[in-house]
Structure 1
Amino acid sequence: MYVCPEGHMAYKKARSLQKNSIKNEKLIFFFDVEKCKCCPLEGICHKIGTKSKTYTLTIKSNLHQEQLDFENSDAFREKSRMRYRIEQKNSELKNRYGLKKSMSNGLFGMTIQSASTVFIANMRKIIREIEKKGA
């Protein structure tokens, strides 16, 4: 059972199970509002005048827990530091070079368009570097 900050224990616990759902399971704890009315934390824990007080605790599924563990690892932090560079280049390709919209149908057409767009972007970068060194 869950205990509120003032020390009152929940009188009821329920599980929210949803069939055929990929959402996380939740535990819902119910508290006695009559005890909350004379509590010094009234208005902080729950709103004054409500008929019930609940606290919901989410139970993470294995998949979500694995993702949280990965996000707390050093490998994730290292990848997130590099992400802005990749996003910057993707933005440049989309906005400056027209990769925002496909010019042809099918996966092969999009592959050709993206390859040629990257080639053109790289060639322009090489030309700019040559002009800097020549000037």
Structure 2
Amino acid sequence: MKKLLEDEHLKEIRSKDDKDARFGHKTATSTFYGYKNHLAMTEERFIAGISVTDGGAPDGQELPKLIEKTKGNGIKVAEVIGDMAYVSDDNLKTCGQEIALIARTNTAVAAAVNGELKEGFCFNKDAGMLQCPAGELSTRIEKRSASNGNTYLRYIFSKVKCRKCPQKENCYVGKSKAKIRSYSITQASEKNLERLKFEESEYFKERMKIRHRIEEKNGELKEAHGLRRADSRGLFAMHLQMYFTAFTANIKRIVRLEELAME
């Protein structure tokens, strides 16, 4: 029993019935238990790439996989249009000069572009909060001004949860001896000005207008095809459900486009 309790993988398990599922956040106050389906979609609304993770996995880290899977399906990727979770150092390097990353930079993510976020920390775009390596969200944000004229955001974490967390000894926030468990992030620096300027361009704003299509596709998969609920347990089963659902949605789209072409 002692050996089992010391196993780091077992500490992460939240259900005896489904060892792969995890808690994720849709807002700062609401959670869900299960999995996330990450999609790459063409402008014609065909699903071109799929990645399936547990509910607590950050969205942004799946972008390189989605790009590779899309390319593997014979589609040339010239643009990626998404939400603020996708702007990170790794994703910008992945896109390079060949792929335009059409996504807005969040203040916390802008810090990540400079490599300032500690390992395991990420910005949860749904909740609008910083997420720690254990998957817990900060409880509030404080905006402060430094003596040198810079401004920074201070993300406050629950000291009760930090105290009980099994990862506290290796966590940047958990190791703090201060009464308040916090993580401070300096707002956008000179290095990010070029990126932020790009986001204010007419080209960027025009392309962002079609981002709603991916949300509509997600809604279709959930409401019309039952993807809101996993029909079995485990990550492998969720992969199967997602792939079969995407196949069905793509067939429907092909039929619809043929109907439009004949009108």
Please report the TM-score for the alignment, with normalisation by the length of structure 1: 0.46
Please report the TM-score for the alignment, with normalisation by the length of structure 2: 0.26
**Structure having the larger proportion of residues in strand:** 2
Larger radius of gyration: 1
**Structure having the larger proportion of residues in helix:** 1
